[in-house]
Amino acid sequence: DAAPAAASSPGAASPQAPGFYRFRLGGRVVTLVNDGQGRRPKPTEGFVRNAEPAAVEKALRDAFLPVEHLDIPYTVTFLQGPGGLVLFDTGTGGQLGATAGNIPANMRAAGLAPEQVTTIVVTHFHADHISGLTDAEGKPLFPNAEVVVPEAEWAYWTDEGIASRAPEAMRGAFAGVRRRFGPYQSRLRRIAPDAEVAPGIKAVATHGHTPGHSSYLLSDGSDQVMLLGDVTNRPELNLANPGWHLVFDMDAAMAEATRRRVFDQVATDRIRCIGYHFPFPANGHVVKEGQGYRLVPAPWSSAV
């Protein structure tokens, strides 16, 4: 038999098996779908604002991660229930780099289609979470979905005064919000902090990473899952060191306070967590360890 083509070129990247993972939440099914990853060069230099490079390097080495770059995964979440198929965040849409954009292929592998999505729930408006709302030409990719957004997040990113005063480097982010949400204006719902989005989906205000960042507590019967969004980035850095301020957090002090509160809650109450930037399959439990926390990844199972 001929060997796979990728195996004959040692320098070429070859794909893994389809990136989806399922588990049960009571009587509902959660499907995590990987979008790929983005690469951050030189994570010891400026990635953590308030830590010495040597401390960041040690944290990376302790986690057996390279120190010359940091790959940051992206994973979206689907929740199937009696009310339809709910999608949390939409990924990069293949528009933020060649190493991401795998959601369409991985959705197909998981037996999911964009037309089936009845609701899209957004944690916050950073580009790696909302670019998948539309294709590169601005056409909506989810023709039947209502879009649910946190009111405070919407208010910030659509404020023309704030946008006009934003640093030049952020102007594109404000324009991107208008472009991504524009096609969905007639089916947009804004929610208050801690609102019930739908039965079994409750918003949890987790501001700091962005002004209106929201996590979501998913429940069915006695089963609970906390969908964190970007309460933390790579767990190898921010779980062990909840006081570290990553460059992506817009209000670092508030983001730290949020992290400590949420980590304490999910560790104390033993609530399973889904992390957008956790290594795939992007879920597990948070336990207290030393002055910080540690992720215990969910075990893989061949049956759901």
State the pLDDT confidence band at 18, using cuts at 50, 70 and 90. confident
pTM score over 0.85: yes
CA distance 81 to 26: 10
Could you read off the pLDDT of 201-237 as tens digits, one per residue?
999 999 999 999 999 999 999 999 999 999 999 999 9
pLDDT at 303: 86
Residue of 168, 170, 268 lying closest to 211 (CA atoms): 170
Judged against a pLDDT cut of 70, whether residue 4 lies above it is answered with no
Write the CB contacts of 242 (distance below 8 Å, at least 6 apart in sequence): 232, 256, 259, 260, 263, 292, 293
CATH superfamily of 16-297: Ribonuclease Z/Hydroxyacylglutathione hydrolase-like (3.60.15.10)
Q: Which helix (H) or strand (E) holds 170?
A: helix 168-181
Whether the upstream peptide bond of residue 281 has omega within 30° of 0, thus cis, is: yes
Q: What angle do CA 170, 129, 197 make, to 5 degrees?
A: 120
pLDDT at 83: 84
pLDDT at 302: 86
CA distance 36 to 300: 19
State the pLDDT confidence band at 73, using cuts at 50, 70 and 90. very high
State the pLDDT confidence band at 188, using cuts at 50, 70 and 90. very high
Amino acid letter at 213? H
How many C-alpha atoms does 105 have within 13 Å on its Cβ side?
Answer: 12
State the pLDDT confidence band at 12, using cuts at 50, 70 and 90. low
Could you read off the pLDDT of 227-263 as tens digits, one per residue?
999 999 999 999 999 999 999 999 999 999 999 999 9
Beta bridge partners of 295: 286
Domain residue ranges of the chain, discontinuous segments joined by +: 16-297
CA distance 110 to 157: 33
Mean pLDDT across the stretch 282-287?
A: 98
